[in-house]
Amino acid sequence: MLNKLIVVLVALISSSAIAAADYRPEFNPSLHKGPESGTPNEVLVLGTHHFAALPANFSEKSLGPLFDRLQAWKPQVIMIETLSGPQCDFMRRYTARYEDEVKTYCWNTEAANKASGLDVPTATVEIEKLIASWPASPTAAQRRHLALLFLAGGESASALVQWLRLPPSERVEGDGLDKTLVEQLQALAVKRNERYLLAAALAAKLGLERVVAMDDHTADFDVADDKGYQEALQRTWNNPAITKRNAQDQALAAHLDDGEGVLAMYRSDNQPEQAQLVYDSDFGAALKDQSVQQFGRQYVGYWEARNLRMVSNVRDTLAMTPGKRTLIIVGASHKGYFDAYLNMMHDIKLADAEAVLH
């Protein structure tokens, strides 16, 4: 009798453990889409290679076919993978953790702060005031002044949007823009970076006044054993999936000197199966890390936290501009996560990147 009771108890405990392991919440936000009235937020997540890492044969002159397709989609908001001025201002006050991030990812506002007499928070407030009452046909002086405020607020890509919206003859010093700041804007206009050559240029072509920063690096952290951490990740990255990704990139890189080659790269980055390949080659591989310190799990935790915070920045912007068609330009490794997380939101409708790029 006792043995039978033990068997029953073991079975119950085992079934409970299995039930707990297999638990899935019944409520799925993605199945409850709205709004009942009004226009949903239509969002296109465009995965991209980072231009700075592309081979020398890539030229912004080859972006024409991509521009044509994105212009035809007619986004009303463009969001980019860069840190906002306010986040950089916060990180500058927390140098014990974020000193390297500030040096790497934050726009140096010193020259614009001096020229305008405004720090980042004050400039940010002034930007929002101006945008809220922005005229339909601003003068060149107004655009130069707004470009100054964007530089002072740490929003260099938006400053470039204003600069590009000026007629070439009006891209001169004045209204707070001194020689140093004009040189900064001229350099941004040709900088090999998708924030400037693609996002800011597209915003200017579409008649938008700014782009919106949505990156987040507050999940970045220092590892006590950085050497061990890097070695562990390098081991996980030695896998068949990353070999496939590298071969794919090399084949595409050979044709980036023309528009069709650049378009082929974007089609590859945004095809549905690419998200699984990214996972298998990188984050899924990291979860197999066998190090005692569980470095792989630390890396994956950072990655998920960063994506969640980036997507929350997107969600926050869309909440303030309901019904707008929004283009998000983000590193290709983020796309699968962005699509998955954004699809959970109630009033967001995802656009098919493959259809847009066809």
pLDDT tens digits for range 83-134: 999 999 999 999 999 999 999 999 999 999 999 999 999 999 999 999 999 9
Q: Are residues 117 and 239 in the same domain?
A: no
Residue 271, pLDDT above cutoff 60: yes
Question: So what's the pLDDT on residue 249?
Answer: 95
Q: Tokens 């890509």, residue? A: 157
| Angstrom distance (rounded) from CA 303 to CA 266 | 23
| Angstrom distance (rounded) from CA 277 to CA 333 | 10
| Angstrom distance (rounded) from CA 101 to CA 81 | 14
Model confidence over 228-268: pLDDT tens digits? 999 999 999 999 999 999 999 999 999 999 999 999 999 99
Q: What is the mean pLDDT of the chain?
A: 94
Bridge partner residues of 43 (DSSP): 326, 350
Q: Are residues 353 and 259 in the same domain?
A: yes
The share of the chain scoring above pLDDT 70, in percent, equals 94
Q: Are residues 160 and 259 in the same domain?
A: no
Question: So what's the pLDDT on residue 22?
Answer: 85
CB 162 within 8 A of CB 153: no
Residue 307, pLDDT above cutoff 60: yes
Q: Identity (one letter) of the amino acid at 79?
A: M
| Angstrom distance (rounded) from CA 101 to CA 321 | 30
CB atoms near residue 322 (< 10 Å): 12
Classify residue 46: in a domain, yes or no. no
Question: So what's the pLDDT on residue 146?
Answer: 98
Q: Are residues 350 and 257 in the same domain?
A: yes
CB 357 within 8 A of CB 267: yes
Residue numbers of the domain that contains 287: 234-357
How many Cα atoms within 13 Å fall on the side-chain side of residue 65?
16
Angle between helical axes of 226-236 and 295-320 (0-180°, round to 10): 80
Classify residue 63: in a domain, yes or no. no
| Angstrom distance (rounded) from CA 337 to CA 315 | 14
* Domain count for the chain: 2
Classify residue 154: in a domain, yes or no. yes
Classify residue 308: in a domain, yes or no. yes
pLDDT band at 293 (very low <50, low <70, confident <90, very high): very high
pLDDT band at 13 (very low <50, low <70, confident <90, very high): low
Q: Quick one: tokens of 162?
A: 């204003």
Rg over alpha carbons for the chain, rounded to the nearest Å, is 24
Question: So what's the pLDDT on residue 11?
Answer: 53
Q: Are residues 169 and 206 in the same domain?
A: yes
Classify residue 35: in a domain, yes or no. no
Q: Are residues 139 and 174 in the same domain?
A: yes
Alpha helices in the chain (DSSP H): 2-21, 64-73, 85-92, 95-105, 110-116, 120-132, 140-152, 156-165, 179-188, 194, 201-206, 226-236, 240-253, 259-269, 274-278, 284-286, 295-320, 332-342, 353-357
Question: So what's the pLDDT on residue 164?
Answer: 98
Q: Are residues 178 and 255 in the same domain?
A: no
Question: So what's the pLDDT on residue 17?
Answer: 55
Residue 172, pLDDT above cutoff 90: yes
CB 41 within 8 A of CB 318: yes
Dihedral (Cα; 78, 48, 315, 327), 10-degree rounding: 30
Residue 196, pLDDT above cutoff 70: yes
Q: What is the pTM of this model?
A: 0.93
Domain boundary residue among 183, 213, 243? 213
Question: So what's the pLDDT on residue 113?
Answer: 98
Classify residue 293: in a domain, yes or no. yes
Question: So what's the pLDDT on residue 12?
Answer: 52
Residue 311, pLDDT above cutoff 90: yes
Q: Are residues 195 and 266 in the same domain?
A: no
Q: Are residues 201 and 270 in the same domain?
A: no
Question: Collapsing DSSP states into helix, strand and coil, what is residue 45?
Answer: strand
Q: Are residues 208 and 238 in the same domain?
A: no
Q: Are residues 142 and 172 in the same domain?
A: yes
Residue 15, pLDDT above cutoff 80: no
Classify residue 181: in a domain, yes or no. yes
Question: So what's the pLDDT on residue 117?
Answer: 98
Chain centroid to CA 137: 30
Question: So what's the pLDDT on residue 161?
Answer: 98
Q: Tokens 């938008």, residue? A: 208
The residue-averaged pLDDT of 171-196 equals: 98
Residue 5, pLDDT above cutoff 60: no
Question: Collapsing DSSP states into helix, strand and coil, what is residue 214?
Answer: coil
Classify residue 7: in a domain, yes or no. no
